[in-house]
Chain A
Amino acid sequence: MRKFGLLLVLMIVAVGLILTGCSKAKGQAETALKAAEQAISAAKPEAEKFVPDQIKALEAALSGAKEKFGKKDYSAALSDAQAIPGKVKDMVASLNAKKDELTKTWTDLDQGIPKMMEAIKSRVGILSQSKKLPANLTKEKFEEAKSGLDSALKEWETAKESFKGGMLGEAVTKANAVKEKAVQVLELLGMPVPAAAKS
């Protein structure tokens, strides 16, 4: 009888320890999940603009950790959640690098495209006054060049709007399209293509 009592006490102590340990792991996992969620939320607005794939992958990792927590697999949820803030830090570093690269590209295009446009506008203006087009330029080619210039000018305005709106990636994509169009027009008109526009 005395032996049974001792065994019962030991069992109660063991269950208590397990429950305490479980509750501690749950609390740690909860804290880690909260920290991971906060890290993702803080980086999300910028990350969605520059590294959308990376932020999506991190959100998926957070969902996975939450799922494990829901299934009471606290230790797995804890280790998954603890890894997230470090990954967010890495993502922010690559985001900043991409932002710098896009800013540099934009600055370059913003300086160069207006120069190309001005040269084209000047030539189109003069050719429009010409009684006869030069030997290397047909009327069709000239009309194509004029409409190309018009659409490039419009697209350039939308690129600048995107930049003003903080959509740097979109602005650079649009500006590159404008550059391509300007190069086509220069070639149609038999004008030299600037070295920087060839790359």
Chain B
Amino acid sequence: MMRIKYDPGLKWPQSLASAYERYVGEGIEKGGKGVSEKGEKEKGGSDSWSAEQFHEVKKGDTLWKIAEQYYGDGSLYMKIFEANRNILKDPNLIKVGQKLRIP
């Protein structure tokens, strides 16, 4: 049986690293959960008549803050949570880069 020694100085080959970046960049999490940015773009972009508004989560964003930005009232954050139940499990857990539909 062949053994591979752990080498902390070992770097990933460039092609593998860029493939991983592409993989993460498309919004697919390692566990297979989460939202695909590409998928959201297709959802909102392929239909040229769609008037749906999307918000990309940035660092420091909360649903309350997003609701304040779009509705003027943070207490309406559940409207955004309900519209994004397909990608959100908990209103307190949103991730940077997620594209949220703003109803």
The answer to whether A129 and B76 have CB atoms under 8 Å apart is: yes
Closest to B73 in A: A130
Contact of B53 among A115, A130, A192 (CB under 8 A): A192
> What are the residues of chain A within 8 A of B71 when measuring CB–CB?
126-127, 130, 134
Contact of B48 among A123, A134, A194 (CB under 8 A): A194
Closest to A133 in B: B72
Whether B86 is near chain A, meaning CB under 8 Å from some CB there, is no
The answer to whether A134 and B51 have CB atoms under 8 Å apart is: no
Contact of A126 among B50, B69, B76 (CB under 8 A): B76
Closest to A113 in B: B49
Residue-wise interface mask of B (65-86) relative to A, using a CB-CB cutoff of 8 A (1 in contact, 0 not): 0001111110110010000000
Whether A3 is near chain B, meaning CB under 8 Å from some CB there, is no
B contact residues, range: 10 to 19
Whether A135 is near chain B, meaning CB under 8 Å from some CB there, is yes
Contacts known (A122-B103, A134-B70); A191 close to B51, Cβ less than 8 A:
yes
Cα–Cα distance between A137 and B70 once the two chains are bound (Å): 10
Having A123-B103, A126-B76, one finds 17 other A-B pairs with CB under 8 Å, namely: A112-B48, A119-B51, A120-B51, A127-B71, A127-B72, A129-B73, A130-B72, A132-B73, A133-B72, A134-B68, A134-B70, A191-B53, A192-B52, A192-B53, A194-B47, A196-B48, A197-B51
User: Footprint of B on A, CB under 8 Å?
Assistant: 111-112, 115-116, 119-120, 122-123, 126-127, 129-135, 137, 186, 191-197
The 25 sampled A-B contact pairs (Cβ below 8 Å) are A112-B49, A116-B51, A119-B50, A119-B52, A126-B71, A126-B76, A126-B79, A127-B71, A129-B76, A130-B73, A131-B72, A131-B73, A132-B72, A133-B72, A134-B69, A134-B70, A135-B72, A137-B72, A186-B51, A192-B52, A194-B49, A194-B50, A194-B51, A195-B48, A197-B51
List the 7 closest A-B pairs by CB distance, nearest first. A112-B49, A119-B51, A196-B48, A130-B73, A134-B72, A132-B72, A133-B72
